[in-house]
């Protein structure tokens, strides 16, 4: 390394210092009696991760948060795509309501939406004369997918509108119809710009799955709370740090990868 | 001039953006095989004239005819299709599709829009790439090409539609001085082959050499038009004289 350091190198040094300080603090704490607490956390880790003490089957815990995140993301992708096309529709009659829905969902607190779904969706729905119970998990998926869908739609709209208007003009001059312009020229280019945004959104959604504890599903937070009632007070901190780290370890690489891709997309000409 | 044998005819065309009148009655006719240059200060409506001719923007008043197609009567993109086949356009910013190679850029529209046979189009595309001296760049993406190369691909893309007319909108304005020449050479060949061209340009020397007629526009009107020798050497209107004094 050469003096003076570049911005990038300075950032690296600071990051390294933070990690070292953290590791040092944990080591010191472990020597001062923290090791016993970490032992308890280690013992309970399978339960936190999978919802079962032996680590199998996957009935809850952090695994449930992952399922919840994936399910909500899938549903949000479908709804968000429809919403995005609605917002880009030619007809005002379609466009304005879609914009209203998007703005409403994007500007509501996620927890409130989750609670709302909890009470709005009935316990049972009748379909073709058959009564089907709606599990809390499904309500949580729907509740989390609503704000995600709105953000998903905004990412699509932003990426499509970021494509230079010259592309539209050139395609029209070549005789392409509007639908073909979208499918053959605009979307293939816009997709590259959407993917990093979607990955960031997924990381955000994953963090937000911890809110779903209010629906009573056995996610990592519910599991943790049940567990803590059996542990002494001093050890609680260690459990919370561990849970925090679980989310961080899952989400940070996704965010990091998204940032990499953003940088590479930025290098594209036009 | 005999107006009935004109290929392109604009008659008192007006166009406003919101309350701003960009074209205040443009009349112009271009014969088959003719090369017409439009010159004039920036903002005088040159690009707008070209965009109106191939229906990219609808006009407010007047009439535009290209061959037997009455452009001002076309209402939908679908109705515009025959027009777009006949009139191609090359833009200042090239507007190549960055996610496709040079060859694909040229082949896309003939295959996807005109429904021509892919193998035949591929042959045509290679021939056109050779014509603009870019045979070795067939598989390059636009981002890997210089401005001049991109613009020549854009010209080949326009030619691949086998148009009767090509509209060039300041196609060398964004290029380095040394690459301007290669693009102008490509255009000059087309004019010599007898393709009908309408060129908006700031290259006065080029306009003088290739154009059969030069139109000077200012504030949405064609102030003066005539053979290049007349416009450049003996301009009648004071505005033409002032403009030429600035650029020459
Ligand atoms: N889509 C548009 N909306 C509003 N104003 C426009 C639009 N296109 C062009 N204009 C305006 O019309 C005028 C003429 O534009 P243009 O035809 O591009 O001029 P030129 O090509 O001669 O420089 C300019 O003042 C420009 O700002
Ligand atoms: Mg212009």
**DSSP-assigned letters across all residues of chain A:** --SSPPHHHHHHHHHHHHHHHHHHHHHHHIIIIIHHHHHHHHHHHHHHHHSSTTS-S--SHHHHHHHHHHHHHHHHHHHHHHHHHHHT-S-HHHHHHHHHHHHHHHTS-HHHHHHHHHHHS-SEEEETTEEEE--HHHHHHHHHHHHHHHHHHHHHHHHHHHS-HHHHHHHHHTT--HHHHIIIIIHHHHHHHHHHHHHHHHHHHHHHGGGGGGGT--BHHHHHHHHHTTS-HHHHHHHHHHHHHHHHHHHHHHHHHHHHHHHHHHTS--
Residue B229 in any domain: the answer is yes
Q: How confident is the model at residue B154 (pLDDT cuts 50, 70, 90)?
A: very high
CA of B50 relative to ligand 2 center, distance in Å = 9
Q: Can you give the residue ranges of every domain in chain A?
A: 7-265
Q: Which residues on B lie below 8 Å from A178 (Cβ)?
A: 77
Inter-chain contact B112–A169, Cβ cutoff 8 Å? no
Residue B90 in any domain: the answer is yes
Q: How confident is the model at residue A270 (pLDDT cuts 50, 70, 90)?
A: very low
Ion ligand 2, residues whose Cβ is below 5 A away: B 47
Alpha-carbon Rg of chain A, whole angstroms? Answer: 23
Inter-chain contact B142–A178, Cβ cutoff 8 Å? no
Whole domain around residue B206: which residue ranges? 6-97+165-247
Q: Which residues on B lie below 8 Å from A180 (Cβ)?
A: 112-113
Q: Which residues on A lie below 8 Å from B143 (Cβ)?
A: 268-270
Evaluate if residue B1 carries a pLDDT over 90. no
pLDDT at B136: 95
Closest among B206, B200, B205 to B222, alpha carbons compared: B200
Q: How confident is the model at residue A55 (pLDDT cuts 50, 70, 90)?
A: confident
pLDDT at A118: 87
CA of B201 relative to ligand 2 center, distance in Å = 9
Residue B116 in any domain: the answer is no
Average pLDDT over residues A33-50: 84
Report the mean per-residue pLDDT for chain A: 88
Supply the residue whose CA is at minimum distance from atom 3 of ligand 1: B17
pLDDT in tens, B80-129: 999 999 999 999 999 999 999 999 999 999 999 999 999 999 999 999 99
Supply the residue whose CA is at minimum distance from atom 21 of ligand 1: B47
Evaluate if residue A41 carries a pLDDT over 80. yes
Inter-chain contact B112–A166, Cβ cutoff 8 Å? no
pLDDT at A266: 63
pLDDT in tens, A213-248: 888 888 888 888 888 888 777 888 888 888 999 999
Residue B198 in any domain: the answer is yes
Q: Which residues on A lie below 8 Å from B151 (Cβ)?
A: none
Q: How many domains does chain B have?
A: 1
Evaluate if residue B2 carries a pLDDT over 70. no
Q: Within 13 A of A56's CA, how many CA atoms are on the CB side?
A: 0
Supply the residue whose CA is at minimum distance from atom 12 of ligand 1: B22
In Å, how far is A155's CA from the nearest CA of chain B?
A: 20
Coil, strand, or helix at residue B171? Answer: coil
Task: Report DSSP letters for A88-116, one per residue.
Answer: T-S-HHHHHHHHHHHHHHHTS-HHHHHHH
Which residue of chain B has the CA closest to A179? B77
Index of the ligand 1 atom closest to the CA of residue B46? 22
Index of the ligand 1 atom closest to the CA of residue B217? 22
Residue B82 in any domain: the answer is yes
Number of CB pairs, chain A paired with chain B, less than 8 A apart: 63
State the sign of the Cα–Cα–Cα–Cα dihedral B191, B177, B50, A158: positive
Residues with CB under 6 A from ligand 1: B 17, 22, 42-48
Name which residue leads in pLDDT, A36 or A82: A82
Residue B36 in any domain: the answer is yes
Residue A240, Cα to own-chain centre: how many angstroms? 20
Disruptive mutation site among B77, B90, B140 for chain A (greatest number of A CBs within 10 Å): B77
pLDDT at A237: 85
CATH code that applies to domain A7-265: 1.10.3720.10
**What pTM does this model have?**
0.83
State the sign of the Cα–Cα–Cα–Cα dihedral A141, A145, A146, A148: positive
Evaluate if residue B134 carries a pLDDT over 50. yes
Inter-chain contact A173–B143, Cβ cutoff 8 Å? no
């Amino acid at each position: 390394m050469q003096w003076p350091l570049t911005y990038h190198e300075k950032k690296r040094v600071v990051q390294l210092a933070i990690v070292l300080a953290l590791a040092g603090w944990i080591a010191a704490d472990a020597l001062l009696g923290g090791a016993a607490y970490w032992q308890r956390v280690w013992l309970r880790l399978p339960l936190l991760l999978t919802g079962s003490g032996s680590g199998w089957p996957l009935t809850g815990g952090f695994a449930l948060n992952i399922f919840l995140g994936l399910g909500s993301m899938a549903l949000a992708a479908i709804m968000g795509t429809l919403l995005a096309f609605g917002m880009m529709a030619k007809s005002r009659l379609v466009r304005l309501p879609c914009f209203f829905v998007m703005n409403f969902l994007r500007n509501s607190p996620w927890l409130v939406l989750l609670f709302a779904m909890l009470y709005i969706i009935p316990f049972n729905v009748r379909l073709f004369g058959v009564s089907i119970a709606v599990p809390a998990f499904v309500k949580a998926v729907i509740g989390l997918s609503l704000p995600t869908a709105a953000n998903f739609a905004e990412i699509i709209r932003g990426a499509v509108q970021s494509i230079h208007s010259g592309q539209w003009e050139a395609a029209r001059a070549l005789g392409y119809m509007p639908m073909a312009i979208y499918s053959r020229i605009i979307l293939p280019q816009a997709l590259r710009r959407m993917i990093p945004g979607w990955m960031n959104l997924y990381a955000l959604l994953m963090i937000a799955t911890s809110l779903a504890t209010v629906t009573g599903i056995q996610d990592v937070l519910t599991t943790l709370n049940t567990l803590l009632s059996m542990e002494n007070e001093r050890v609680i901190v260690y459990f919370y740090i561990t849970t925090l780290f679980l989310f961080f370890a899952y989400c940070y690489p996704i965010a990091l990868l998204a940032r990499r891709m953003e940088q590479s997309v930025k290098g594209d000409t036009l | 001039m005999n107006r009935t044998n004109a290929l392109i005819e604009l008659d008192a065309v007006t166009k406003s953006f919101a309350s701003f009148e960009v074209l205040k009655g443009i009349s112009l006719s271009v014969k088959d095989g003719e090369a017409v240059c439009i010159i004039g200060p920036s903002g005088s409506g040159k690009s707008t004239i070209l965009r109106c001719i191939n229906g990219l923007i609808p006009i407010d008043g007047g009439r535009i005819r290209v061959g037997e197609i009455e452009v001002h009567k076309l209402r939908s993109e679908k109705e515009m299709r025959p027009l777009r086949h006949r009139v191609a356009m090359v833009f200042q910013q090239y507007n190549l599709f960055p996610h496709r190679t040079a060859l694909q850029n040229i082949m896309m529209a003939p295959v996807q829009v005109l429904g021509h046979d892919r193998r035949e189009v591929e042959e045509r595309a290679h021939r056109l790439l050779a014509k603009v001296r870019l045979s070795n760049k067939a598989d390059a993406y636009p981002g890997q090409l210089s401005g001049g190369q991109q613009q020549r691909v854009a010209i080949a893309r326009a030619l691949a539609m086998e148009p009767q007319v090509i509209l060039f909108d300041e196609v060398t304005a964004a290029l380095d001085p040394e690459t301007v020449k290669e693009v102008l050479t490509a255009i000059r060949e087309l004019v010599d082959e007898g393709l009908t061209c309408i060129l908006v340009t700031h290259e006065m020397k080029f306009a003088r050499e290739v154009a059969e007629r030069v139109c000077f526009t200012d504030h949405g009107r064609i102030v003066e038009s005539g053979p290049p020798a007349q416009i450049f050497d003996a301009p009648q209107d004071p505005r033409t004289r002032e403009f030429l004094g600035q650029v020459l």
